[in-house]
Amino acid sequence: MTGSERKIIAVADAAVLAKVAAERVLARIAANGGRIAIALSGGSSPKALYELLATEPYRGQIPWDRINWFIGDERFVPANDNRSNMATARGIFLDRFAPPSNIHPIPTNAASPDEAAALYEQELMSFYGARQLDPARPLFDLVLMGVGPDGHTASLFPGFPALDETTRWVVGVPEANVEPFVPRVSLTLPALASCREMLFEAAGAPKRAILTRVLSGENLPAARAQSNGETVWLVDRAALPEDFRGA
């Protein structure tokens, strides 16, 4: 697969955005009749999507037994902490519908973020069946992403060494640039890129300033994060920069 230009899809508001995201999740699932891997994202942006996936007509169209749910980054907090990204996804939909063995949290009970990263990398490699990513065989069907006010995505913060990782799939991030100020564990750009589709969600006026910078090509983590397949930005009207209003 070769990477493509990013595609921007502008929608009216956050509610429509969640519906369009849910349709894209279903489309990615429908495109693969075998084992499916989806990397979820953290923060508040995906919550409305998660709620839709737990609701008809979406819930009944999801072949829960065939989908493996991973997470693109995690806060280094206990699994049941309300700051945990996977705990949020579990609470909203996964624990009700996904078989427990299909849920793949980052093991934050490890001794350190680095150790958790090494364990999760091992889990991903064993799931993938190889220690090297093959561009012709993506790790994930879909990777969900968000963007923070400083332009970070996953837990890849501007100027942090984790951003330049080229070989490891998962890294420990000793400190965060934004709240919550806890260490993180994050998939790296090459691991996140190994997907058929990378889908960013950004809604609300507070996102507009950083979207202006990211979409104009500034060298920020969220701009550098690109799928080897399709990269899609789902943006609502309030978040959409002036220059992209005709997009």
> Closest approach of Cβ 128 to ligand 6PG, in Å?
21
What is the rounded distance in angstroms from the CA atom of residue 148 to the CA atom of residue 128? Answer: 29
Question: What's the min distance (Å) between Cβ of 117 and ligand 6PG?
Answer: 14
Query: What is residue 230's three-state secondary structure?
Result: strand
Of residues 57 through 116, those in contact with ligand 6PG by CB under 6 A are 73, 75, 85
Among 113, 138, 148, 183, binds ligand 6PG (CB under 6 A): 148
Closest distance of CB 208 from ligand 6PG, Å: 13
Pick between residue 85 and residue 102 the one whose CB is nearest to ligand 6PG: 85
Residue in the block written with tokens 């993938």: 128
Q: Does 188 bind ligand 6PG (CB under 6 A)?
A: no
Residue 44 interacting with ligand 6PG (CB under 6 A): yes
d(CA 94, CA 91): 7
Q: Give min distance, CB of 215 to ligand 6PG, in A.
A: 16
Alpha helix ranges (H) inside the chain: 14-30, 47-53, 85-89, 95-97, 113-128, 189-193, 208-215, 221-224
User: For ligand 6PG, how many residues bind (rule: CB under 6 A)?
Assistant: 15
Q: How far is CA 143 from the centre of its chain?
A: 5
Min dist CB 203 to ligand 6PG, Å, is: 9
Site map (CB under 6 A) of ligand 6PG, residues 3-42, x = contact: --------------------------------------xx
Out of 3, 6, 10, 43, the only residue in the binding site for ligand 6PG (CB under 6 A) is: 43
Residue 236 touching ligand 6PG (CB under 6 A)? no
Q: How far apart are CA 207 and CA 240, in angstroms?
A: 8
* Residues within the interface to ligand 6PG (CB under 6 A): 41-45, 73, 75, 85, 146-148, 152-155
